[in-house]
Structure 1
Amino acid sequence: MTLIGIEEHFLTAEIRDAWKAIGLDAVDPSVAFHSGPIEGRLLDLAEDRLALMDETGLDVQVLSLTTPALHDLGPESVDMARRANDALAAAIARHPTRFQALATLPVAMPEEAALELERCVKTLGFKGAMLCGRVGARNLDHPTLSPIFQSAEALGAPVFLHPRAPDMAVRAAYYSGFKPEVDAAFATYGLGWHYDAGIQFLRLVLAGTFDRMPNLQVILGHWGELVLFYAERLAAMDRVSGLAHPIATYLRRNLYVTASGMFLPHYLERAAAVVGTDRLLFSTDFPYQYRPGGDARRFLENCGLAEPAKAGFAHGNWRRLTGESTA
């Protein structure tokens, strides 16, 4: 059974150096995580990556720029995004059966980002885009960012909402007071990343984004970034939200969720109960959650889904979402 991982990350030396040039490593703790062996795996788009894919049992990686992407860069990010996307397209051309891609966008320049998404989908054959939370002080529901989502809906291209570190004031208020390395972990992969990504999705819902763009499809990693586990509490906002539908409708109509290497069957069961088995996607969160020994394939085989739903989880749901043949 073909196994496609849809949250599998990369990095370019140019973007790494751009982060350092603006001092992002001093204010975003996640930048420091992209070092050592992790950095080597992020930069590699060739044989070593393919060997690790084979070892864990993954047939295809859908490549996306790691957090915090280009969200803190200005006009210079327009050409930088084009170069990153062209590099991905070249990697896909070398290994067309092993790699796909989500577009890297110059999100600080929304009109240009919308055009780059169109180029990536129509010309380069990319499957969608990845966004990493806030853009400066703007949350993703800010009206100035709507051209990106309008372009995605028009193209039928899903948008993956990836975590990024919370704002410094939030980190100081909620995630500080311990050793520096504990503060950084608590604010990022321990919890902060996941609250931040889930909140960005909920802000899109509450802002009426999916009423205005009913065909827009969004993906959350890590089994829904905590959102699905509070679906009942979120439903209590229906009486005040002023939305066209109950919040549960947007969870089942506009949201896909993926594993991100969290291979826990009871999380899968919860996600399936909320969004449906036809909205489950597979991913390993390479290279952060990489574990050798056929780990990905073993989770698929023992995930507890019936065969048709298992095939959907492995590859069919992604192919249907992105307009590929599921034959």
Structure 2
Amino acid sequence: MATDYGIVALEEHLLTREIAEAWAADAASDAAPRMTIPGAEPDKLFELGRVRIADMDDQGVDVQVLSVTTPGVQSLDAARAVPLAAAANDAIADVVAEHPDRFDGLATLPTTDPHAAADELRRAVSEKGHLGAMVYGRTGSMHLGDAAMEPIWAAAAGLRAPVVLHPQTPTAAVRDAYYTGIGAEVDALFSGPMIGWHYETGVELLHMIFGGVFDRHPDLQVVVGHWGEAVLFYADRIGNVGALTGATAHPFEHYLTHNVLVMGSGVFSQRAFRWTREVVGIDRIVYATDYPYIDASAGKARRFLDEADLTADERVQVASGNWDRVTRHLR
């Protein structure tokens, strides 16, 4: 088994005290974050030094691409979100500067003000050295494919900066309609990491595709986690029915193989990996452990790639090469 390769993990989270305090002030709001992953260690979100690096070494991860945990500042009004996003992005840049061989960064964006979010993306990438951004699906009722989001996609396309699409909790109306009635504890997981988060994010990717975002910005790259957020499993069905709409310039599969990169996000499933490879190809797969929410300790992160049915070159592609290809010009 090959071990002489470096792993860059893309969905590795942190949290600033200021954002946490802003969330707490909105605790009664439907948009308030819900930490519902059994076994997670959310206290480690605030750890950006020795403990985190020791955990990375234990996992077999060489570089974490740091991002604020979901929902970032997207649940906050623009007056609070804009300065909090800038401060978080500055903090991430400081950590990267302190440990440049172990960390890179993804910007968090104040999407409640898309024009300000576009400006912050340009600042974070051009001045602070971030390699792209992370967004957390819809903002309130505004989907990622809505026209109001166009400034963000135009900025990302202009910078050639990839954007990671991360899950968030479905709205209360959706939770009540589809994910309740079993019991409070199960309901919370049902609407979240069991399946609700993943449908939520997959739907947002479809909003982007059928809303024409990639037709307007054909070089824009987005990254989706959890082996495609259910979309890849239904790719044939979505493509066949989607073609009837006439809404896109290309067949559905074109967007999956030209605009979308896929990561496992700590779902260490060889079966899901094989399916992802079959649908999008080896050059569209990147890596993530979902720190600190998923246990990848004792070398589990590296062991998954060691045990995958890959050539040495393909293993390097997945571990770091594909990400390097789409971000090299930003370094």
Q: Distance in 2 between matches of 1:65 and 1:243?
A: 32
Secondary structure in 2 matching 1:323: helix
Secondary structure in 2 matching 1:228: coil
User: CA distance change for structure 1 residues 34 and 265 in 2, over 3 Å: closer, same or farther?
Assistant: closer
Contact 1:281 1:317 in 2 (8 A): yes
Asked if 1:186 corresponds to 2:186, the answer is no
Which residue does the alignment assign to 2:217?
Answer: 213
Asked if 1:131 corresponds to 2:131, the answer is no
Secondary structure in 2 matching 1:157: coil
Which residue does the alignment assign to 1:247?
Answer: 252
Which residue does the alignment assign to 1:15?
Answer: 19
Residue 177 (structure 1) aligned to one of 181, 205, 214: 181
Asked if 1:6 corresponds to 2:20, the answer is no
Q: Using the TM superposition, name which of 238-247 and 131-140 deviates more.
A: 238-247
1:97 positional shift: 0.4
Q: Give, as a single letter, the amino acid of the residue that structure 2 aligns with 1:49.
A: R
User: CA distance change for structure 1 residues 38 and 28 in 2, over 3 Å: closer, same or farther?
Assistant: farther
Asked if 1:49 corresponds to 2:58, the answer is no
User: CA distance change for structure 1 residues 35 and 270 in 2, over 3 Å: closer, same or farther?
Assistant: closer
Asked if 1:159 corresponds to 2:187, the answer is no
Structure with larger RCO (C-alpha < 8 A, sep 6+): 2
Q: Give, as a single letter, the amino acid of the residue that structure 1 aligns with 2:67.
A: S
1:38 positional shift: 2.0
Aligned pairs for 1:25-36 within 5 A: 27=30, 30-33=33-36
Residue 72 (structure 1) aligned to one of 47, 71, 75: 75
Q: Distance in 2 between matches of 1:163 and 1:266?
A: 22
Which residue does the alignment assign to 2:295?
Answer: 290
* Structure 2 segments unaligned to the other structure (5+ residues): none
Contact 1:31 1:68 in 2 (8 A): no
Which residue does the alignment assign to 1:261?
Answer: 266
Contact 1:206 1:241 in 2 (8 A): no
Contact 1:235 1:247 in 2 (8 A): yes
Q: Distance in 2 between matches of 1:120 and 1:321?
A: 17
Residue 40 (structure 1) aligned to one of 15, 39, 43: 43
Task: Output one character per residue of 1:86-129: Cα deviation in whole Å (capped at 9) or x when no partner.
Answer: 11011111100000010011110111110110011111111100
1:35 positional shift: 11
1:20 positional shift: 1.1
Contact 1:132 1:161 in 2 (8 A): yes
Task: Output one character per residue of 1:24-71: Cα deviation in whole Å (capped at 9) or x when no partner.
Answer: 5x5357434499972221111111000000001000000111111111
Aligned length: 325
Q: Distance in 2 between matches of 1:44 and 1:241?
A: 48
Secondary structure in 2 matching 1:229: coil
Q: Distance in 1 between matches of 2:113 and 2:318?
A: 34
User: CA distance change for structure 1 residues 123 and 297 in 2, over 3 Å: closer, same or farther?
Assistant: same
1:300 positional shift: 1.1
Asked if 1:107 corresponds to 2:114, the answer is no
Provide the identity percentage.
Answer: 43
1:241 positional shift: 3.1
1:228 positional shift: 0.5
Q: Give, as a single letter, the amino acid of the residue that structure 2 aligns with 1:287.
A: P
Contact 2:137 2:201 in 1 (8 A): yes
Contact 1:85 1:104 in 2 (8 A): yes
Secondary structure in 2 matching 1:69: coil
1:239 positional shift: 2.2
Q: Distance in 1 between matches of 2:178 and 2:111?
A: 27
Secondary structure in 1 matching 2:288: coil
User: CA distance change for structure 1 residues 124 and 278 in 2, over 3 Å: closer, same or farther?
Assistant: same
**How does the TM-score come out when normalised to structure 1?**
0.96
Q: Give, as a single letter, the amino acid of the residue that structure 1 aligns with 2:76.
A: L
Q: Distance in 1 between matches of 2:92 and 2:236?
A: 40
Contact 1:30 1:188 in 2 (8 A): no
Once superposed, what is the RMSD of the aligned Cα atoms? Answer: 1.8
1:290 positional shift: 2.3
Q: Distance in 1 between matches of 2:113 and 2:270?
A: 40
* Structure 1 segments unaligned to the other structure (5+ residues): none
